[in-house]
Amino acid sequence: MKRKRSSTRVNSNTPINCNALGNRDHPWLQFADFEAKYTKRLESLWPCRHLILASRRLDLAALDTVGQGARWSRMMTNPWRQLFRVHEVQYVELVMEFCSTFKFDYPCQNLKDKKAVKFRMGGKCKQILVERFAELLGIYTPEEIRASSFTEGITEFPSEHVKNQFWFEQGVRFYDPSCMTATSLRDPLLRIVHRCLVYSISARGHGDTVVNIRELFYLYCLVQPHTCNLAHTIAWYFLTSSGRDVSSAVCGGHLVTLIAKSSGLLTDEVLGSLTAVGETKVMTIATLKHMKIVTKTSVGLRLIDRWKRVWDPDRPEPDPDRVQGIEGPGTRSESPHQWGESVKLPTTAREQFAFLITEQRRYWAWDYECRTLQAAATSTQVQYPRPYFMQPPPQPPLQPLVDHLQQPQVGDLGSTDLDVR
């Protein structure tokens, strides 16, 4: 009987774990006495070398398979398109040297500052403009760097109102950066874009996580569209990511390799002394199936929305209070029901108590969202969009239920209908 050969599949999203990874005695990792601050930073970053995350890029053939290639092309500008195409190998010594010495004068209102971006690469310190940094990244053409759109590109949301309004157009419920995940996005193509952001310039290795403010800003620039200074954004990314904590992952190594290639640093002799830790992976149609946003139709594979319907931007969303059998994350499950209808009382004391607590929590969630939106609209003096849960809710009819609970309980109550109108 043949023994079945065991195989181990390595998840490309997990950090690379190797105890003997990299060469600490490499010449690029040796600093002079006056660079003691870099030595201290490297000592804290060196244990994180096994947490270097492998980046990913999207296979555009997968978008053509689901009929979204044209929409993707209209959404992407040239810098974004070049960023999502980066396919480079990462090197431990190169990433450690760059991340331990990188500095950025954030928020850098003056893009003409010659010392806005500072780092050391190949043993040489560099102090360059943001424009030069964009040129080294290779995602901008010289014409795009000289254009006024580069210096006038936005780097954050214009206001809090714009951020909330954009989320109501593209997501569900009120935006909370601590709990709103990518599954709350209505458009499945935006979920694909979000996953590309997570794997490239968002310092995380898995896709369906919360949509933080920076990622929402990137989606805002792509959808509206608004010109974003991508070089400034990537500099901020290196400043706030790449092993800033002991347990945090090191990200952006593929971009560091891109900068080194543009500088003419990676010769054959140099590559022989560096430790490679993997190249950029590719997201194929299998990734889209794993995200559960693809279904098979009569015309081939197509994207589906949160309600498992073939995606149609002009189709109205179903109302879970009126349409049966349609459920999904972020729906109106926490909103109060129609209080004018008859309420069916539970049969046991425990069920009655749970029912009371549940209805009160539903009302509190509704009231909190309404008050938050009204405050945001008042502060900006702009007519705020009214989502479906903005109808003024009456006080929930809990008093009849409380009076009923205070009555003597003799045996089972049975099934009773209490009209609260």
Q: Which residue has the higher pLDDT, 107 or 7?
A: 107
Question: 259: which 2 tokens?
Answer: 């900068």
Segment 347-352 shows an average pLDDT of 66
Q: What is the pLDDT of residue 10?
A: 36
Q: Which residue has the higher pLDDT, 91 or 390?
A: 91
Q: What is the pLDDT of residue 111?
A: 74
Range in 27-31, 179-183, 329-333, 394-398 with the lowest mean pLDDT: 329-333
pLDDT above 70: residue 27: yes
Alpha helices in 171-325 (DSSP H): 188-201, 213-223, 230-240, 253-262, 268-273, 285-290
This model's pTM is above 0.75? no
Segment 112-129 shows an average pLDDT of 88
Helix/strand/coil (H, E, C) string of 381-416? CCCCCCCHHHCCCCCCCCHHHHHHHHCCCCCCCCCE
Which tens digits make up the pLDDT trace of 253-281?
Answer: 889 999 999 999 999 999 999 998 877 88
pLDDT above 50: residue 85: yes
| Cα 46 to Cα 243: distance, rounded to the nearest angstrom | 9
Q: Are residues 53 and 277 in contact, defined by beta-carbon separation less than 8 angstroms? A: no
Q: Which residue has the higher pLDDT, 304 or 370?
A: 304
Question: 6: which 2 tokens?
Answer: 């065991």
Read off the pLDDT band of 248 (50, 70, 90).
low
Q: 């900006």: which residue's tokens?
A: 380
pLDDT above 80: residue 209: no
Q: What is the mean pLDDT of the chain?
A: 76
Q: What is the pLDDT of residue 188?
A: 93
Rg (CA), the chain: 27
Neighbours of 200 (CB within 10 A): 24
Range in 125-139, 151-165, 183-197 with the lowest mean pLDDT: 151-165
Read off the pLDDT band of 399 (50, 70, 90).
low
Q: Which residue has the higher pLDDT, 384 or 72?
A: 72
Range in 56-65, 91-100, 406-415 with the lowest mean pLDDT: 406-415
Read off the pLDDT band of 400 (50, 70, 90).
low
Q: What is the pLDDT of residue 82?
A: 92
Q: What is the pLDDT of residue 159?
A: 86
- 99: exposed, middle or buried (Cβ count in 10 Å: 0-12, 13-18, 19+): buried
Question: 258: which 2 tokens?
Answer: 């891109």
Give me the percent of the chain exceeding a pLDDT of 70: 66
Type and span of the H or E element at 124 = strand 124-128
Q: What is the pLDDT of residue 295?
A: 92
Segment 93-105 shows an average pLDDT of 90
pLDDT above 50: residue 145: yes
pLDDT above 60: residue 95: yes
